Amino acid sequence: MRSLRFLLIAATSVGFSHIASAQSTYEATASHANPDGTTEAFIKRCGPCGDPWVTMALERVFGKADAAKCNVGRYNNGRWSSYNELI
């Protein structure tokens, strides 16, 4: 029982440290420039989301782009005036 509790705590700690480190690169007050066309084309080919800005925003905020979060309707109904606003 004691070792099971230790494993559970260790697994939880590892999970939280991953989340904390992934989110540590995100700053809510930072300013983010709109991506250029070359970057957008590359991300569109490689990323899981149909919208390259959503892929880049998910990577910036969460550390990775999860295909389950790609629906642009989740983010101001798919309307934003800049990459900074999307972030």
Q: Where exactly are the structural domains of the chain?
A: 2-27+36-86
Per-residue pLDDT at 5? 40
Prediction pTM value: 0.60
Per-residue pLDDT at 62? 92
Residue 55, CA distances (Å) to 7, 34, 41, 46, 83 in order: 34, 13, 12, 9, 11
Both structure tokens of 34: 């709109």
Res. 21: pLDDT tops 70: no
Both structure tokens of 64: 């990775």
- The secondary structure of residue 3, as a DSSP letter, is H
Per-residue pLDDT at 46? 82
Per-residue pLDDT at 42? 78
Is 87 in contact with 57 (CB distance < 8 Å)?
A: yes
